[in-house]
Amino acid sequence: MRAALISDLHLEGGPNDPVQQAFVDWLDALDVDALYLLGDLFHGWWGYRDVVPARLVATCAALERARQRGLAIHVVPGNHDFALGPFFTETLGATIHPPGPHQFDGRTFFLAHGDEADDSLGYRVTRRVLRGPAFASLMRLLGPSLGWRLLHQMAGTSRATPSDPDRLRAQQQAWSQPHLAAGADYVVLGHIHAPGRSADGRVIHLGGWEDDRTWCLVDQGEPRLIRPS
C-alpha cells in the first residue's frame, strides 16, 4: 500500500493563488492508494451543507477527481478545519478520524494534527471554546458568507508560522513518547510548519506547504519525508 500524508496547506486564495494551484497540480499527479490530510488543509473552513467557498472550488474539484480515480481519502482535522461537514463526509466519502493509530503494511503510525501537544493555557481555552456548542450555534446563525468571514478574521494571516516552532517541536516529541511506548512505530504530526524528523526518526513533522512543499510517502510500511528538489 502507498499512502500520501500531508498537512498545513492553509489554502484560502482564489483560482489564481499559486499555493492552491501547486496543490491541485500535486494532487492531480499523485499516484497512491490513499490520501491522508492531517489538518489545516484550509486556513478556515466550516462545513455548511451544499456550499463550498468559491475561492476554494479548485481544491474541492481536485479532491473529487482524486476520489474518482480511486484514492481513499482520510482526514484528521486540524485547528483551522475541524468542522468539515457534508462535502467531506458525503461528497468525497472521506473517513474522518480523531488522532490515533493507523496500520500501513504491518506498521503502526499514530497520526494527529499536532496541536494537541500545545499545553499552554491560552491555546487550551481557545480550542475548547471554538469546538464547543455555543460557537457551532453562532456559525449556524451567521451562515456561510458571514461565518467564513468571521473564521478568516479569527485565523489571521495564513502565511504566519505558529509561534516558537522549536518549543512546539519539543512539545510534540515529548507528547509522542507515550504513543511510541504503546506500540506505534511512528508518529506523524503537522501544525508547526517545520519539516523534519526526531533524532531516532520515529517522530515525523510534515511541515507547511507554501514554504516547504513537504509531504510523507508511506510505501510498504516505510515512511519517507519528501521535499521538492
Residue 168 carries which side chain, given as an amino acid letter?
L
pLDDT at 26: 95
Average pLDDT score over the chain: 91
Q: Which residue in 70, 71, 63, 68 sits closest to 9, CA to CA?
A: 63
pLDDT at 217: 98
> What is the percentage of the chain residues whose pLDDT exceeds 70?
96
pLDDT at 158: 44
Going from the C-alpha of 51 to that of each of 86, 91, 106, 145, 159, the distances in angstroms are: 9, 11, 39, 10, 25
Q: What is the tally of structural domains in the chain?
A: 1
* pLDDT (mean) for 91-115: 96
Q: Which residue in 30, 194, 212, 31 sits closest to 203, CA to CA?
A: 194
Residue 104 and residue 221 in contact, taking contact as beta carbons nearer than 8 Å: yes
The answer for 5, left when phi > 0, alpha when psi is -120 to 50, beta otherwise, is beta
Q: Which domain holds residue 40?
A: 2-226
Residues 51, 9: Cα–Cα separation, whole Å:
21
At 123-140, the pLDDT tens digits run: 888 889 899 999 999 999
* pLDDT (mean) for 82-88: 93
Report the CATH number that the domain containing residue 26 is assigned in CATH. Answer: 3.60.21.10
- Sheet harboring 196-197: ordered strands across? 100-104, 107-112, 186-189, 203-205, 196-197
Q: Structure pTM?
A: 0.93
Residue 12 carries which side chain, given as an amino acid letter?
E
pLDDT at 181: 97
pLDDT at 76: 97
pLDDT over 90 at 146, yes or no: yes
Which uninterrupted H or E stretch holds 110? strand 107-112
At 25-75, the pLDDT tens digits run: 999 999 999 999 999 999 989 999 888 888 899 999 999 999 999 999 999
pLDDT at 229: 60
pLDDT over 80 at 163, yes or no: no
Q: Which residue in 126, 207, 130 sits closest to 162, CA to CA?
A: 207
